[in-house]
């Protein structure tokens, strides 16, 4: 059985011990994120390592999740897969943040212990698209279906919305 993930982590101490955490976090435990989702079932898979680079403590690793968002084109559900790698440098101030290497995002520590869920939630929120959309032309497809329904209502074409097209093609030759 997997070890349970800790609720609070002490990232500086973890990095000194070279600790690694992997496991699953339930999406419905992430309140800010859940508010943006159509459905909050499922889990986030995380695998992160706490390390030292010289005097700098870092957290690096990855997270994976499938999130149910609302497509901004058709307002229906779209599944957005996140597979994000990140590297955070632990700093105490904005000045220290400015000194970090460019491959490292700053995580400003305001207390010794921080919430693992909030850390992961922040990374997920950063990975969300501003305008989630289906990767196909969902609105046009919607119109085709709507037209087909209209045809049905007029009883021109009771079964197959494409049979009209097929007929047109056949007689067009």
* Binding positions for Zn ion, rule: CB under 5 A: 71, 73-74, 134, 138
Q: What is the dihedral of CA 31, 32, 38, 41, to 10 degrees?
A: -30
CB count in 10 Å sphere of residue 109: 17
| 3-state secondary structure labels for all residues of the chain | CCCCCCCEECHHHHHHCCCEEEEEEEHHHCHHHHCCCCECCCEEEEEEEEEEECCEEEEEEEEEEEEEEECCCCCCEEEEEEEEEEEEEEECCHHHHHCCCCCCEEEECCCCCEEHHHHHHHHHHHHCCCCCCCCCCHHHHHHHHHHHHHHHHCCCCCCCCCHHHHHHHHHHC
Q: Which is nearer to Zn ion, 22 or 73 (CB)?
A: 73
């Amino acid at each position: 059985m997997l070890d349970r993930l800790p609720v609070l982590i002490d990232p500086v101490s973890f990095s000194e011990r070279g600790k690694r955490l992997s496991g699953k976090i339930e999406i419905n435990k992430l309140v800010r994120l859940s508010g943006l989702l159509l459905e909050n079932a499922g889990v986030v898979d995380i695998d992160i390592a706490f390390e030292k680079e010289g005097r700098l403590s870092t957290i690096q690793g990855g997270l994976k999740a499938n999130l149910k968002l609302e497509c901004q084109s058709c307002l229906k559900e779209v599944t957005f897969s996140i597979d994000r790698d990140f590297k955070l440098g632990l700093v105490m101030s904005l000045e220290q943040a400015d000194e970090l290497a460019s491959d490292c995002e700053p995580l400003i520590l305001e207390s010794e212990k921080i919430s693992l869920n909030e850390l992961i939630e922040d990374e997920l929120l950063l990975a969300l698209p501003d305008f989630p959309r289906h990767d196909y032309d969902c609105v046009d497809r919607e119109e085709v279906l709507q037209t087909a329904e209209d045809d049905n209502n007029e009883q021109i074409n009771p079964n197959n919305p494409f049979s009209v097209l097929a007929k047109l093609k056949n007689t067009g030759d």
